[in-house]
Structure formats: C-alpha cells, structure tokens
A and B are shown apart, each in its own frame.
Chain A
Amino acid sequence: MKLGVLFSGGKDSSLALFKASKTDEIVVLISIISKNEDSYMFHTPMDNVEKQSKKLNIPLIKVETLGEKEIELEDLKLAIKKAIDEYSIEGVVTGAVESVYQSTRIQKICDSLDIHCFNPLWQMDQVELLRELLKNNFKVKIVKVAGEGLDNLKDKIIDEDVVNELIKLKEKYGINPAGEGGEMETEVIF
C-alpha cells in the first residue's frame, strides 16, 4: 500500500516510518510546521525535515500552521489531501504512542478522506521504544527538554547510558522515559 508518514523528524515518527517501510511503500513524508511551541498536535522544533527527507530520499510535503487549536487540524487535513492528490497515498502512518487526543483527531481526518490510518507504535512501552531505536541503530539527539532532572541530557545522543538515566528519572520523578508527556523532543540524524 502506498503510504505517507506524518513526519516530525523526531524519534517516534522515524521509528514509525522504519516499521511501516518493512511492510508497505512509503512515498511521501508530510510535515506540519507549527508556530505554536505548545501545540498538542505537533512536535516542535522541526528545523531539519528538508535535510532528513533528502537523506531518506523520500519527497516531503511541508505545510506551516499557526498552531491554533482546530485550525491546525484543517491545515493537517489539507496537507494529507495534497499527499493523496500528488502521491496517490492510500493511508498515513503516525508516530502516536499514547495520546488519544492526537490519535482520535488523525483517525477522524483519515476517515473523512477515506484513507487508512496506521499507528505502529500505539501503546508501546516507552522503554521498549527507546531500546528498539538503539537496536536498529537510530542516532537520536535530544534537542529540547522540559522536565525535572533532564537538563543535562539536552543535546545528547540517546545511547544505553542515556536510556538508563531516563529509567532512573522515571523512578525518581515519574517522568515518561520516552518523553511522551512532552518532557523532551528529539531529532533523528540520518
């Protein structure tokens, strides 16, 4: 099936892309650049999606949004519609793990456009997710942190030591080790 990946350049959408490319054909990346740093829907920052798309050799549809609630969903829908028109995608892949907020909204957009929605990381244990990235040699840089005890992890590449540190911080402060609660943002270096 021809699919587009909702791509932020971070670890979740990159791992989702990796999993989906094993079973289906990924023909386009779709990136929504939000001007709202606190968007519930979209990851920020996303400075290098063009570079990542070139490295992956997968075309990119990039759409900017002001990031206002509900308007950003219209912008996302337009971007997916563009991918249907230009690349004949039959479905989109997301990196949603736990957020029913994100997942529900994307499911509804896909339903309205009559295409499939794939969430290959759905409900995945966060430590398992980090270890799967390591196992598959992803180079993941932590580009933004927002949580207790995380400051010294900014700009680090996630390796076994960082995973162990995140597990310790989970036990100490109750953080989500893969940053599902917005504790950190990442960028994958391809």
Chain B
Amino acid sequence: MILVISVCENKLHEEEFVKPVTDLLENYKVVHYSELKEVKEDKIIICGTALKDNSYLDHLDKFSWLKNFKGKVLGICAGMQIIGKVLGKELEEDKKIGFIDNKYYLHSFKVKGFGDILEKNNFKGVLFHPEIRNKEIIKEFVD
C-alpha cells in the first residue's frame, strides 16, 4: 500500500495533481495532509499542487513527522519543497511554467542549492511533474 498525500487547498485541483499520479498506482490510498492521523505505509508520494496554491507552506508543522519516517518518500514539486524544508533547507523564489527539456514544470519555489532533484537517504524530491511524460520515475519508485 502506498500513501499518497495531497497538498491541494482546493479539492478540484486534486483531479489535476493527484489523480494523474494515482492512475499509475494499483494499491494506494489518498489522504490530505491536514487529515493525516497515522502512517502505516512504508512508501509515500507527496503530490504537487497549483501554481497559485502555496497554502502548504503555512502548515509545514503538519509534516514534521516525516523527519523520523523510515520508509521511502517521493516528493513531487510542492512535495520536494516540503522534503527540503523538513531536511532543514531553505526555499527560494523560482517560477517555472511549461515543458522544458522534456520535463513539465509548474512551480513558484525551488529548494535553495538544489536543481530538479533532491536525494537524501530515504527521500527523493523532483521539482518537475513526472506524471507528465516522465511516468517511469513514479513507476520505478513504486516497484
């Protein structure tokens, strides 16, 4: 079972940022970070959200448990930013919209000192959206 965490403030955005990810999975459950009580799964995907939705940055305390999580975590876009903050890194403004060098980007911030990918121990973050034209990244994480 894979735990898919939504950070979308508006439910409608989940169709765009969560469903394309869960369409690639077989055994999963989706929980919004604000409703997360306990984590039994050993693999987690934290999905991205809309360009104008930065609400998760005001609730980073809800992700502090991640620091001691022993399973594997894949953070997509906002998910990478959350991983960065949990690991003590800073974010900086970096707006990028569109399909560039075969990767689809849609973000307002990046993790300072990192490019598209952040890998540390059990954490992997990707700043672009692998659910668009780079689905193998999600499939490899799941396998």
Q: Which of A1, A24, A104, A120 contacts B16 (CB 8 A)?
A: A120
A107 to B19, CA, bound (A): 19
- A118 near B51: Cβ-Cβ < 8 Å: no
Is B71 an interface residue, CB under 8 A from the partner?
Answer: no
Q: Interface SS of chain A: helix, strand, loop or mixed? A: mixed
A24/B20 contact (C-beta < 8 A), A104-B97, A114-B52, A117-B51 known: no
Q: Given contacts A117-B51, A123-B20, could you give 17 more A-B pairs where the C-beta distance is less than 8 Å?
A: A19-B12, A20-B12, A24-B12, A100-B98, A100-B99, A104-B99, A107-B98, A108-B98, A111-B52, A114-B52, A116-B52, A117-B50, A117-B52, A120-B16, A122-B15, A122-B20, A124-B19
Q: Interface SS of chain B: helix, strand, loop or mixed? A: mixed
- B10 near A1: Cβ-Cβ < 8 Å: yes
Contacts of A118 in B (CB 8 A): 10, 12-13, 15-16, 50
- A111 near B132: Cβ-Cβ < 8 Å: no
- B104 near A100: Cβ-Cβ < 8 Å: yes
A19 to B53, CA, bound (A): 19
Q: How far is the CB of A176 from chain B (nearest CB, A)?
A: 16
- Total number of A residues with any Cβ neighbor in B under 8 Å: 25
Residues in chain A within 8 A of chain B (CB atoms) = 1, 19-20, 23-24, 91, 93, 100, 104, 107-108, 110-111, 114-125
| Nearest residue, chain B, Cβ from A104 | B98
Is B74 an interface residue, CB under 8 A from the partner?
Answer: no
Q: How far is the CB of A119 from chain B (nearest CB, A)?
A: 5
| Nearest residue, chain B, Cβ from A16 | B15
